[in-house]
Amino acid sequence: MARTIAISDDVYELLKRSKLPNESFSSVIRRNLKRGKLSEIAGSHTISTSDWKKAKKLLLGSEEHTARKMTGRL
């Protein structure tokens, strides 16, 4: 069942920018309501600074490894 809702122009523009090709506005809203926002956990000590630095180092190393592998310089 479909419902009609009124939203302000700025909210409509935000939805429009979030919309993927061939995605309905209902899907955009559903997708954004289902995922947690980084701002909701920021500062909640979910990860220590040292653990974040370790994770960042691993990710950067992984990206470099992948780039070398793709260019045949591994």
The tokens of 66 are what? 């992948």
Task: State the Cα–Cα distance between residues 64 and 4, nearest whole angstrom.
Answer: 49
* Greatest CA separation for the chain: 56
Q: What is the pLDDT of residues 2-43, one digit of tens each?
A: 889 898 999 899 889 989 999 999 998 888 787 666 566 566
State how far Cα 15 lies from the chain centre: 15
Let me know: does 9 contact 19? Beta carbons within 8 Å. Answer: no
Task: State the Cα–Cα distance between residues 74 and 28, nearest whole angstrom.
Answer: 41
Q: What is the pLDDT of residues 45-70, one digit of tens each?
A: 667 788 888 888 888 888 887 888 88
Cβ-based neighbour number of residue 31 at 10 Å: 13
